[in-house]
Amino acid sequence: MLRRNFLKFTSVAAAIALMPLEAKAATNSNPLWIFIQASGGWDPTSFCDPKGYNEVDDGSGTMVMESKPMNKSFKKADILTNAQGVKYAPLRANDGIREYNFSDFFENNADDLLVINGIDTQTNGHASGNRYMMSGKLSEGYPALSALIAGITMPSAPLAFITAGGYDMTDGVVAGTRLSNMNAMNELAFVNKQGTNKDGSTINYKDPSVFERILKARESRTQRIINKQKLDSVKALAEQYNLAHTGSNELKKLVEFIPDDIDTHEYKNNPVFSQGRFAMAGYKAGLTASVNIVSGGFDTHGNHDANHLPKLARLFKGVDLLKQDAIDQGIADKVIFVIGSEFGRTPGYNQGNGKDHWSVGSMMFLGKAITKKGVIGGTTDGHTLKKVNSSSLTLDENGISITYAHINKALRKLAGIENNDLLTQYYPLPTSLEDLNLFT
């Protein structure tokens, strides 16, 4: 998909994105989409689809853990339930700095949290699982939903799609951006600035009129280069170059919104928090529509509990911090979190005390735009999926299995892009796929 072909499919929001910055910041009412990929395959039975161990009599009257527990770290009897009926594991783990209580996440977010359990991930391969979760298509070729949302709603914004990796294939509908290093960002926001005078005035490399002249001359020449190309591959690249430079001046705005403590906050190394803060600043600046965040370390084939639970704590803590940031910045109502992983992990433990790949998973969603709360779907005690009724979404053994394709279809609808020509012409989901009303 070439961006020049794609631009014609953009929505009204695209026109907004092309407006002068101040006007755009005032009128952009789209949400900020934060996609968090728990990389490696998380274990829902250790948090939002809890399966604890049972105690059995060892024959001498002493109650001990059953021989093949689903989880060794908590008892089934100790599983907790929040106000919206979400059951969760009663666990604590180190979040990288201090101990984190899982109940903080599930209780504090009770009125904001939707959990979908028993997702049929249809694969237990890492690459294909990530792709399926993020694009709704198991085979290759479709962009990540995060990229599609950014490309459609803010096609010309320089930071529309911020990505730290994971499945972030764009297919050219938008350019993904890495953000880090505040010093560099400051410099890049003001490329013609050499320094500051004692009186606070700016020292420029070139007189501003000269700099402006260079930019205009370069823009004209780029257009001539584009027009001359006979090879689509080169032409597309020149167009991409042109587009990236079109909005390059807007980084100045981003810098204004980046929190002062971005390099000093005690959780600055939390991957969810650190990556998400840049996206929030981009959103506040009217430049960003979505972000891909990766939180790794979940592929715990060995020593599962010791390795996996701290990764969950780190993820939850990162979401907590981001939510607080959103509240502080007055955009709490605008942020949508989509949190998932490529698949789940096998019921019980392997010989290395680890858990392997399992094609039943869960996802979590947070955001005011998502009006459904609580839990959809479910699994058995052995973590095999239960089917749901495609209308009522209640458990129904004659129903259907929820897949990532269903979730992507519903997310497209939530984002208001499901009928965009780009999706219907280039990246359609099967028409036979049930339309599940998962979020509203």
Helix axes 404-414, 126-135, angle to 10 degrees: 30
Q: Which of residues 368-397 bind another protein (CB under 8 A)?
A: 384-385
Residue 331 interacts with another protein (CB under 8 A): yes or no: no
The one-letter code for the residue type at 341 is S
Residue 188 interacts with another protein (CB under 8 A): yes or no: yes
CA-only gyration radius of the chain, Å: 24
Nearer to another protein, 110 or 225 (CB): 225
Which of 30, 135, 170, 275 is close enough to bind another protein by CB under 8 A?
A: 170
Residue whose pair of structure tokens reads 């949400």 in the numeric block:
31
Which residue(s) pair with 203 in the sheet?
Answer: 195
* Residue 235 C-beta: closest distance to another protein, Å: 7
Question: Two tokens at 154?
Answer: 């803010």
* Residue 84 C-beta: closest distance to another protein, Å: 27
E-strand ranges in 55-192 read 55-57, 63-65, 80-81, 87-88, 92-94, 99-101, 113-120, 161-163, 176-177
Question: Two tokens at 286?
Answer: 């009217």
* Residue 186 C-beta: closest distance to another protein, Å: 11
Residue 19 interacts with another protein (CB under 8 A): yes or no: no
* Residue 166 C-beta: closest distance to another protein, Å: 11
The window from 36-44, 103-111, 325-333, 348-356 that contacts another protein (CB under 8 A) reads 348-356
* Residue 273 C-beta: closest distance to another protein, Å: 15
* Residue 32 C-beta: closest distance to another protein, Å: 17
Q: How far is CA 433 from the centre of its chain?
A: 23
- Letters for 204-233 (x = contact with another protein by CB under 8 A, - = none) are xxxx-xxx-xx--xx-xxx-xx--xxxxxx
Q: Which of residues 94-133 bind another protein (CB under 8 A)?
A: 120, 122-128
> How far is it, in rounded angstroms, from Cα 260 to Cα 186?
12
E-strand ranges in 49-137 read 55-57, 63-65, 80-81, 87-88, 92-94, 99-101, 113-120
Nearer to another protein, 309 or 370 (CB): 309
The DSSP output letter for 53 is B
> How far is it, in rounded angstroms, from Cα 62 to Cα 72?
17
Q: Which of residues 270-289 bind another protein (CB under 8 A)?
A: 287
Which of 49, 95, 250, 325 is close enough to bind another protein by CB under 8 A?
A: 250
Determine how many CB atoms are found less than 10 A away from the CB of residue 173.
Answer: 28
Which of 15, 23, 63, 203 is close enough to bind another protein by CB under 8 A?
A: 203
> How far is it, in rounded angstroms, from Cα 345 to Cα 298?
10
Nearer to another protein, 106 or 239 (CB): 239
Residue 138 interacts with another protein (CB under 8 A): yes or no: yes
H/E element, 314: helix 304-328
Burial tier of 301 (Cβ tally within 10 Å: 0-12, 13-18, 19+)? middle
* Residue 257 C-beta: closest distance to another protein, Å: 15
Residue whose pair of structure tokens reads 């929030």 in the numeric block:
280
Which of 251, 335, 336, 414 is close enough to bind another protein by CB under 8 A?
A: 251
Residue 318 interacts with another protein (CB under 8 A): yes or no: no
For the residues of 12-46, what is the DSSP string, one character each? HHHHHHTS-HHHHHHH--PPEEEEEEETT---GGG
Please give the size of the binding site for another protein, defined by CB under 8 A. 84
Residue 141 interacts with another protein (CB under 8 A): yes or no: yes
Nearer to another protein, 340 or 367 (CB): 340
CB of 305 closer than 8 Å to CB of 73: yes
Residue 154 interacts with another protein (CB under 8 A): yes or no: no
Which of 139, 197, 264, 431 is close enough to bind another protein by CB under 8 A?
A: 139
* Residue 277 C-beta: closest distance to another protein, Å: 16
* Residue 56 C-beta: closest distance to another protein, Å: 23
* Residue 162 C-beta: closest distance to another protein, Å: 9
